[in-house]
Amino acid sequence: MSFVARGGLVLAAVLLLLRFVQVDGFIMGRIMSTRQDKVITKMPAVPTSLLGEETASRLRKDYRDLREAFHYQAQYFQQATRSQNELTEDCLEQAAYMAHLQRFQQEQAADVANRDHLHASSQLEKIRDEWERLHHDKIVQDFEMELAQAEEARAHDRAQCAFKLLGLVEKSEWDLKEALHELRLANNMDSACEAELRKHHAVLRSFKARLIDHDPFKGNVAF
């Protein structure tokens, strides 16, 4: 239950108590006045024929004392009721002032709480925006990191392929050098064969010339 509701209940209880005191005072006043009336109006007459003068005088005095006692008690009760009413009105005014003050304080506290709530909501929105920005930056950073890793892996693969191709080129170059060497050897061998062939042709021509010189049938020998 809120403080305003509790204040309202307290105020209602005070008003009810004041009403009860006023009604009770009115009833007690009526009772006292009735008792006084009864004492005053219905005081029995003392039969002087049955009682002595002294006894009757004493009874009258007792009735007067009793009447004065009732009258004093009624006045005291009425004065106490008025004092209580005055105190109750002061209490009501004080309670109303305190209720108004507490309501004002509650409104101020509610205003402060509302401002704090708006400030907290603004801070939360900023934090949410910052988190989204950081999350976006993290996604971009992860994407860039994955892209860099993919580029690095692709560069590594290209380097491996280039290394393999270089090995193949070097092997092909070595094979080409061996082939050129073998070709040179073959050319040299061809040159030697041609020289040997020319040598044989020269020997053959020389032999032919000698045969012609020793042949009795010169010019008739055919090779």
Q: Cα separations (Å) of 34 from 29, 38, 76, 116?
A: 8, 6, 16, 66
Confidence at residue 178, expressed as pLDDT on a 0 to 100 scale: 87
- Whether the CB-CB separation of 11 and 102 falls below 8 Å is answered with no
Strand segments (E) across 73-186:
none
Confidence at residue 217, expressed as pLDDT on a 0 to 100 scale: 58
Confidence at residue 219, expressed as pLDDT on a 0 to 100 scale: 52
The DSSP code for 46 is P
Confidence at residue 98, expressed as pLDDT on a 0 to 100 scale: 76
pTM summary value: 0.30
Cα(107)–Cα(112) distance, integer angstroms: 8
Q: Mean per-residue pLDDT for 160-187?
A: 86
Which distant-in-sequence residues (6+ apart) come within 8 Å of 117 by Cβ? none
- For tokens 């050129």, name the residue: 180
Q: Which helix (H) or strand (E) holds 105?
A: helix 53-214
Residues 132-147 have pLDDT tens digits of 888 888 888 888 899 9
